[in-house]
Structure 1
Amino acid sequence: MVNDIPVMAEPPALPVEKVLEALRIAFTDLVQRRAVQPAQTLTPLVGGGDVIASQGVLEGVYGVKVSPYLPQAHGGPVVSAWTLLLSTGTGQPLLLVDSAELTAVRTAATTALAVDLLARREADTLAVVGAGPLARAHLRYARAVRSFADVRVYSPAVAEGRRAAGFDDGVRLASSVDEAVSGAHVVLLCTSAARPLLDAAVLPAETLVTSISTNAPRAHEIDPQALNKLDVYGDHRPTVAGAAGEMVLAAEAGVWDPSMLRGDLSELLTGGCPPPSGRRPVFFRSVGLGIEDVAVARLLIEG
């Protein structure tokens, strides 16, 4: 405790359904102006590296997550994340929490919310590309919104037999991206790739592909040239097109425009945008939002 503020270096696990419901409420409140989502800010550091700050306001709570990215002379960069919650009534701190695990949770839960809203009801075949903590969290949350009978996982490490921990017996390890994705109704891209892993435009109509952000500049897991052949959605319309690498690159190449974004999570939850057309593959891109961090961290003090 610091000045009677709970400090959590290892936050407890949260129930999946509780997290999903918290995000549904947060995104609904956002479109109904009961929540505030400022733009993310990036502050460069002298000598290299940066700090990303993600803010959000939900009922009674302001929160900010700070995420330093600190290159090292030897070895990989140091990356951390801490979330601070303040009461909007008293201005007093409510919680300081290490957000490493919470970031994986809120990212996976946001993707699962998109799966629930965008994947066809009978979707029962899932491909996960990636095998790290984010991939495992995505699998756990995706299974909470659909009953997948066939689950395939691919990553180079898994294909080479170097890592398969964290996956149950109901998961089939694929030897290539193509093998994992073939016939899948939902494809979750959960990697740190800075270049395309697949051409989403050649997938069957109604196939849902999701993608998340990484620290790599202009990172993109699908070919930017494919965007104009997809039904494209994002987590938050005002911010996603300016931050998602494939959207920025496609706009610069003149093959796609942010006005072509069909909708975001708030609009999907409240009927403010059209559903997928059923004629093309569907692509959902998230870049991460402060209200997601606040919604999940707030669960830790609500009990």
Structure 2
Amino acid sequence: MSEIRFLDGGQTRAALDPARVMDAVATALVAVARDQVSAPPRIAAHAPGGLLGAMPGHVPGLGLAAKLVSVFADPERPGRSSHLGIVALFDEADGHPLALMDAGPLTEVRTAASATLSARALARTDGGPVAVVGTGAQARAQVSLLAALAPKTPVRVAGRDPGRAASVAAAHPSGRAALGIEDAVRAAGTVFCCTGAVRPVIDRDWLAPGAHISSVGGSHGPELDAATVRDATLFAEWPGAATTPPPSGAHELQGLPPERSVTPLGAVLSGELPGRRDEDELTLFKSTGHAALDVAAAQVAHAVAVAEGWGTRLSL
């Protein structure tokens, strides 16, 4: 009989040490770029009100894990969706289960980590204030990570609800709510798009020369307009962001002309491929999520939980 460590939502979130997650996600992204990861494209079963996605993956040296996550419309918040699920971590050597944890905070933190890594690698060093577009759980996770890593950088949060924008902005020492999305984006050198949009929320004309966009939303439709995608140098976690259809690929990157290429972010992080080439270049990291990032975050959460003695031990 084997035992598995169960981490509830609070324990999972507490175990996701920001610096360690950043390092682990960077390692995973490099492994993806080098084709060292075993992770089939995400699949989903569709129900009338949403979908159930499955994402298994193995990253050598980090671990073996699988995520099951449901994405359903939230009837209490029209226009928003809930992301609920579990992540199971296994021993990569003998396959026995090690831990079961809440997929919600794990997904939020690893997604924010990949977006932040893209900004570190691709944004101008003198990019000015940061804009975060969105007021949901992912936007809050992004602002919280920025607060932990760059508390002095001005952050402007924008969304449909000014009150929610102010609440999210309060998580950052230098955060405040913007007057609106256009106001936030025009003043920003880096834009984090964290919405559940089904149509674009960003207009190309709002973006400053040399801006960097990290777009992690758009599960149900394009978060960015076609002109932004047309004018930007493109980066993603993996090539399939452009070559496979949603839900594994990105809505914005479907049907790119043959001459357009999408550079794996991990190849920039490792120095194997260039990132930004000049100060006026528009750069775009389009995230679709990747099982390798779940493996990375789960490995960190499990290691911290074991060290701290957190979680409930369950017999299988």
- Taking structure 1 as the reference length, the TM-score comes to 0.85
After superposition, the C-alpha distances for 1:39-62 in whole angstroms (9 at most, x for unaligned) are 1112234x5643111121023522
Question: What's 1:56 paired with?
Answer: 57
Question: What's 1:274 paired with?
Answer: 274
Question: What's 2:238 paired with?
Answer: 236
Change beyond 3 A, Cα 1:214–1:246: closer
For the residue of structure 2 that corresponds to 1:81, the secondary structure is: strand
Following superposition of structure 1 onto structure 2, how do residues 87-236 of structure 1 map, counting pairs within 5 Å?
87-143=91-147, 149-158=153-162, 161=163, 164-166=166-168, 167=170, 168=172, 170-200=174-204, 203-216=207-220, 219-236=221-238
After superposition, the C-alpha distances for 1:271-297 in whole angstroms (9 at most, x for unaligned) are 333322324321110000001011101
Question: What's 2:23 paired with?
Answer: 21
Question: What's 1:7 paired with?
Answer: 6
Following superposition of structure 1 onto structure 2, how do residues 64-103 of structure 1 map, counting pairs within 5 Å?
64-70=66-72, 79-103=83-107
- Taking structure 2 as the reference length, the TM-score comes to 0.82
Change beyond 3 A, Cα 1:73–1:100: closer
Question: What's 1:247 paired with?
Answer: 253
Whole-Å separation in 1 of the counterparts to 2:73 and 2:192: 28
For the residue of structure 1 that corresponds to 2:106, the secondary structure is: helix
Change beyond 3 A, Cα 1:31–1:204: same
Asked whether the equivalents of residues 24 and 269 of structure 1 are also in contact (C-alpha less than 8 Å), the reply is yes
The percent identity for this pair of structures is 26
Asked whether the equivalents of residues 124 and 146 of structure 1 are also in contact (C-alpha less than 8 Å), the reply is no
For the residue of structure 1 that corresponds to 2:281, the secondary structure is: coil
Whole-Å separation in 2 of the counterparts to 1:266 and 1:259: 21
Please tell me whether residue 284 in structure 1 is matched to residue 288 in structure 2.
Answer: no
Whole-Å separation in 2 of the counterparts to 1:63 and 1:87: 9
Asked whether the equivalents of residues 33 and 265 of structure 2 are also in contact (C-alpha less than 8 Å), the reply is no
Please tell me whether residue 263 in structure 1 is matched to residue 282 in structure 2.
Answer: no
Whole-Å separation in 2 of the counterparts to 1:73 and 1:185: 35
The alpha carbon displacement at 1:143 in A equals 5.0
Change beyond 3 A, Cα 1:241–1:206: farther
Asked whether the equivalents of residues 185 and 207 of structure 1 are also in contact (C-alpha less than 8 Å), the reply is yes
For the residue of structure 2 that corresponds to 1:6, the secondary structure is: strand
Q: Which amino acid aligns with 1:17?
A: A
Whole-Å separation in 2 of the counterparts to 1:144 and 1:74: 31
Whole-Å separation in 2 of the counterparts to 1:71 and 1:186: 29
Q: Which runs of 5+ in 1 are unaligned?
A: none
Considering Cα pairs closer than 8 Å and 6+ residues apart, tell me whether 1 or 2 has the greater RCO: 2
Asked whether the equivalents of residues 129 and 190 of structure 2 are also in contact (C-alpha less than 8 Å), the reply is yes
Change beyond 3 A, Cα 1:129–1:12: closer
Q: Which amino acid aligns with 2:167?
A: A
Whole-Å separation in 2 of the counterparts to 1:35 and 1:145: 28
Q: 2:40 aligns with which of 25, 35, 38?
A: 38
Whole-Å separation in 1 of the counterparts to 2:261 and 2:205: 16
Whole-Å separation in 2 of the counterparts to 1:126 and 1:15: 22
Whole-Å separation in 2 of the counterparts to 1:281 and 1:72: 34
Whole-Å separation in 1 of the counterparts to 2:269 and 2:82: 37
Whole-Å separation in 2 of the counterparts to 1:91 and 1:162: 43
Q: Which amino acid aligns with 1:176?
A: G
* Alpha-carbon RMSD: 2.6
Whole-Å separation in 1 of the counterparts to 2:84 and 2:126: 39
For the residue of structure 2 that corresponds to 1:62, the secondary structure is: strand
Whole-Å separation in 2 of the counterparts to 1:75 and 1:135: 16
After superposition, the C-alpha distances for 1:1-34 in whole angstroms (9 at most, x for unaligned) are x951111222142221111001111122333444
The alpha carbon displacement at 1:207 in A equals 0.4
Asked whether the equivalents of residues 36 and 56 of structure 1 are also in contact (C-alpha less than 8 Å), the reply is yes
